[in-house]
Structure 1
Amino acid sequence: MKLTRVLLVSLLMLPIPVWSQEPAAPDGKFVPPGLAPGDQLSVHMYDFPELASGLQVHVGADGSVHLPYAGTIPVAGMSPDQFQHAISESLQAKGIVKDPNVTVDVVTAINLSVNVIGQVATPRVIPIFAPTPLSYVIAQVGGLTGLADHHLSILHHSDQPPTAVELDPDAPSVSAMNTPVQPGDIVVVANRGVYFVGGEVLRPGIYPLGGALSVGQASPVSGEGVVKDITLMEALTQAGGVTSIAKRSKLYLLRTVDGKREEILLDQVKLSKGEIADPILHPNDIIYLQPSYLRQQTNNIFGTALSGLYAATTLREANF
C-alpha cells in the first residue's frame, strides 16, 4: 500500500499543534512506513473512565482517526508513538487534560508488520515497528519445517528488489540470521519439492525431498535433522524397500527436463551393490518398479502349494 502524503498539507493548516512527520532520512537509511488506511488500533485514554479499557479504532480511507475528546487526527505515516503523542497534544491544546495519560496498541497494521508464508510451523502476520533480524521473525513463527527450502525470499514494501537469503538451519551464518526484515515486508519460505514412488515398493506414495514420511503416514515435521539431498536408494528405503516380486533389473526414474519427460532405466541390484552411481533426486521425480512376471508366477505356485499342504494336513488330522 502506497503511503498517503497528501494529508501533510492539511496538517499544516490545523489550529492545534502540528503532528507532522519527521524530516526525511538521508539516502540509504530506512524510514518505517508508519500507519495506513485500514489499520486497526486500540487506544487507551486513562483520563476518561469510559475509554480506559481501550477503544478500537480504524484508520480511515483519508488516513485519519476520529477519537472522543481529541477529535480527528491525521495519522497516515505516523508511528504508534507519534500517534500517541498527537492525541496528548490535541487534548492539551483543547484544554481538556493538562497532562494526558494515553497509550496506543497496534492490533493490525499492514505497514507495521511482516507476513511470513510458506514452509514455517505457523505462517502468520507478526507485528514489527522497526527493522528486525530475520532470525527473530523465523523464531516467532516456530521455525522452518522439514519441507522448507534453504532459499528464502524477502519481498519489500517499497520498490526495492526482493532480497534472497540462503538460510541453512543445520549451519546458519551470522549474516543470514541478521538479514534485516522491514515493516511491510513479506517473507516467503518455499517448498523443497516432492518425489513420487510407485509400483513394487512396500509404501508407495508422495515423499518430500526433506526426507520425512510419506503421505498416509506423515507426522509433524520439524526443521531438525533433515537431509539436504536424497538419492534414489535412500528414496527406496523411505518407501520401505522393494517387494519380493519387483523386477529389480528394471527400475524407472522419470524426470521432467525443460518441459519434456525423460525416462532413465536403472538396475536396482547394481545400485544396491554400488556398481553404478546412485543419482540424486530432483523435485517431481517419479520412481517406478514394475513387477516381474516370473517372480509373480513363482510366488503364486508357492502360495498354492502351501495352501494345498495346509489343507492336506488339516484333513489328515480330522481323520484321526
Structure 2
Amino acid sequence: MLISPMARRTVSTLSLVLLMICSMLGRSSFAADADYRLGPGDMLRVNVFGSPELSGEVRVSESGNITYPLIGQVQVSGKSPAQVEAQLVSAFVEGGYLKQPQVSVLVLEYRSQKVSVMGHVTKPGQYSLQSSSRVLDVLAAAGGPISEEAADVVSLMRKDGSKVPIDLTKLFAGDPSQNQEVAGGDTLYVPRAPQFYVYGEVQKPGMYKLERGMTVSRAISKGGGLTTRGSERRVVIKRKDKEGKEEHYSAKGSDLLQADDVLMVKEGLF
C-alpha cells in the first residue's frame, strides 16, 4: 500500500514527539532517584556490570544499612542512589575484588520517606515520597480536598515544627510560590472550612461552606434560591460578637457574610 507524503510526515512527526516524551520521562525518572534520600525499608536493585553474581536486590534495614556480598555492612541511610553507587565502587576496589567496577543503584520501593495528609481530603493517610515532591503531588495522592468541606488555606507542618500556610485558591490558579516542596516527616493538614447557615424562605435551607467574598445574594443562591414567598429585601443576619452575644442585622444582597453567620430569609410583605 502506498503512503502519501503527508502521511509520512505525520508519522515522522508523531515518532519525534514520542521520542521526546520518552526522553523527558527518562530524565524525570533519573532526577527523581537523584533527589531521593534513602532510608529504612527502601528496596534497592544493585547492578554490577559484568558480575551478575554480585548483582541483586537488597532492602535497607531499620539501622539504615544494606548487607552486600564481599563487602558486608554498608551505611546508606540519608544518601542518594548516586552516592551509594560511588560508595560500592570504592568498597569493591579497596577490597581488591574488582578493578574498575561499574555499579548502578535503582530504587525499586520507596518506603522510608513519608508525608502525612490529614483533614478534609478524600483519602487521608501517609504517602511515600518517590522524588522531589510538592504540595500538589501529595494532595493528588490523597484524592484532593473535599470541595464542600475543605478550607481555602491549609497548613504544611514541617518535621522541625515550623508551619507554612498554603493558599489553595492561589495554588490551583498556578501560583508556584504555594506549591512548596515537601519532605519526609512533613504533614499537610487541610482544616474544615468556616461555615454559615441559611434558613427561612429558601429552597434548600442548611449549613454551607463560607467561600471567599460570600455575599448575602450568593448565600441565598447556595440555598437553592428564594421560595415563591421569600424576599431578598427581608433578610436578617444573626451574628455573635466577641463576648458571644447574638446580634441581628438587616442585610442587603451585597453584604459579606462571616464565619458562623445565620442568614434568615423572611417572607415578602406583598
TM-score of the aligned structures, taking structure 2 as reference length = 0.60
CA gap 1:45/1:247 in 2 versus in 1, 3 angstroms: closer
1:281: which partner in 2? 257
In the alignment, which residue of structure 2 is the partner of 1:77? Answer: 78
> 8 Å contact 2:241–2:247 — kept in the other structure?
no
Question: In structure 2, what residue type is equivalent to 1:153?
Answer: S
- Name 1:27's counterpart in structure 2: none
1:163 — aligned with what?
Answer: 164
Amino acid of the residue matched to residue 258 of structure 2? H
Tell whether the 8 Å contact from 2:118 to 2:188 is kept in structure 1 after alignment: yes
Conserved in 2, the CA contact under 8 Å of 1:133 and 1:180? yes
SS of 2:87's equivalent in the other structure is: helix
2-structure distance, mates of 1:133, 1:207: 30
State the TM-score, normalized to the length of structure 1: 0.53
Matches within 5 A, 1:13-32: none
Aligned partner of residue 280 in structure 1, secondary structure = coil
Assess if the C-alpha contact under 8 Å between 1:201 and 1:240 holds in 2.
Answer: yes
Within the candidate set 257, 262, 280, 2:246 is matched to 262
Match of 2:111 in 1: 108
For residue 34 of structure 1, report the CA deviation from its aligned partner: 4.1
Aligned with 1:229 (options 198, 213, 216): 213
Residue in 1 that maps onto 2:195: 194
Question: Which runs of 5 or more residues in structure 1 are unaligned?
Answer: 1-31, 211-227, 296-320
Q: How does 1:166-181 map to 2 (within 5 A)?
A: 166=167, 168-169=170-171, 172-173=174-175, 175-177=177-179, 179-181=180-182
User: Partner letter of residue 278 of structure 1?
Assistant: S
Q: Where does structure 2 lack aligned partners over 5 or more consecutive residues?
A: 1-34
CA distance in 1 between partners of 2:238 and 2:68 (Å):
65
- Secondary structure, in 3 states, of the residue corresponding to 2:42? strand
- The answer on whether the counterparts of 1:83 and 1:104 sit within 8 Å (CA) in structure 2 is no
Q: Distance in 1 between matches of 2:72 and 2:249?
A: 76
Question: Superposition pairs for residues 1-320 of structure 1, below 5 Å?
Answer: 34-36=37-39, 39-46=40-47, 47-48=51-52, 52=56, 54-55=57-58, 57-60=59-62, 62-96=63-97, 99-105=101-107, 106-110=109-113, 114-118=115-119, 125=127, 127=129, 129=131, 146=147, 148-158=150-160, 161-166=162-167, 168-169=170-171, 172-173=174-175, 175-177=177-179, 179-210=180-211, 228-244=212-228, 251-258=235-242, 260=244, 262-266=246-250, 276=252, 278-289=254-265
* Alignment RMSD: 4.3
Aligned partners of 1:104, 1:120: CA distance in 2, in Å? Answer: 32
Shift of the alpha carbon at 1:118?
A: 4.7
CA distance in 2, matches of 1:278, 1:197: 16
> What secondary structure sits across from 1:43 in the alignment?
strand
**C-alpha distance 33-88 of structure 1, shift in aligned 2 (>3 A):** same
Q: Conserved in 1, the CA contact under 8 Å of 2:111 and 2:128?
A: no
Measured after TM superposition, the shift of residue 121 of structure 1 is 6.8
CA distance in 2, matches of 1:70, 1:256: 71
1:108 to partner: Cα distance: 1.8
Alpha-carbon deviations, 1:236-261, whole Å to 9, x = none?
A: 11211233455877645333444725
How far the C-alpha of 1:234 sits from its partner, in A, is 1.2
Q: 1:83 to 1:196 in 2, by over 3 A?
A: farther
Name the SS for the 1:260 alignment partner. Answer: coil
Q: How many residues are paired up?
A: 228
Q: Flag the 1:141–1:97 CA change in 2: closer, same or farther, 3 A.
A: farther
Distance 1:234 1:103, change over 3 A: same
Partner amino acid for 2:159? H
| Residues 1:262 and 1:196: Cα distance change in structure 2 (over 3 Å) | same
The letter for the 2-side match of 1:155 is M
